[in-house]
Amino acid sequence: MFTFQRTPKKGGAPFWSLLALGEGESGKRAYLGAVQSPDRSQASWSALLESLEVPQQGKGLIVVHDGDQAIASAVGMVLSRAEERRCIWHQLHRVFMQARELYPDNPEKIKEAIRAAQERMTVSRPRTTSPLERGIKEYRRRTRPMDGFGSRAGASSFLKVWMVKENARMAHEDWLSVVIN
């Protein structure tokens, strides 16, 4: 599962934190990696995926993302043997937007279109980027009051510590002792 977060930089252009979250068969999750990038291009996503050092071009993996073309292209190039899925929430949101456009004055038709789409989208886990997006909201809540970082290195260090903390929290470990060690 992949997502991104725009991070302001004092005295310069904003940059993006691109993150990858993994989920095992047991449902346990962990942040796998992140990169700081000036954009959300295919090259940036490819750099993140390559940094994960996934063996066999992703054979046996399921990759869930929001449908961003840069992510899809990077997954196709770097993890060509992985199964790719679009997040079910993002699919339903698209159906809702299209139904609202088709039936602007008929809320019942909109609900009917969404119900029909939900029935067609019965997919096994993982099926959504929501866990990662909740993590991004927490990360954003921590970084926004800082009004940007003085340097990209500072933002990168904060992101690394934040991922270690979140991984420890998800593993039900004392995050502070993990961060200190």
Average pLDDT over residues 83-105: 78
Q: Provide the number of structural domains found in the chain.
A: 2
Of all residues in the chain, the percent with pLDDT exceeding 70 is: 74
- Residue identified by tokens 């990209």 is 152
29 pLDDT above the threshold of 50: yes
The span from the CA of 68 to the CA of 133, in Å, is: 14
Strands (E) across 29-148 are located at 29-37, 62-65, 83-86
Same domain, residue pair 24 and 78: yes
The span from the CA of 57 to the CA of 42, in Å, is: 17
Strands (E) across the chain are located at 2-7, 15-23, 29-37, 62-65, 83-86
What is the predicted pLDDT for the residue at 7? 56
Average pLDDT over residues 68-95: 83
Amino acid 102 reads L
Decide: helix, strand or coil at residue 90.
Answer: helix
Mean pLDDT score of the chain: 78
Same domain, residue pair 140 and 166: yes
**Domain coverage including residue 71:** 2-86+128-180
Burial class of 103 by CB neighbour count within 10 A (0 to 12, 13 to 18, 19+): middle
The tens digit of pLDDT for each residue in 118-172 reads: 776 666 554 655 566 666 667 766 666 555 666 777 778 888 888 888 889 888 8
* Segment of 19-23, 47-51, 172-176 carrying the highest mean pLDDT: 47-51
Same domain, residue pair 148 and 63: yes
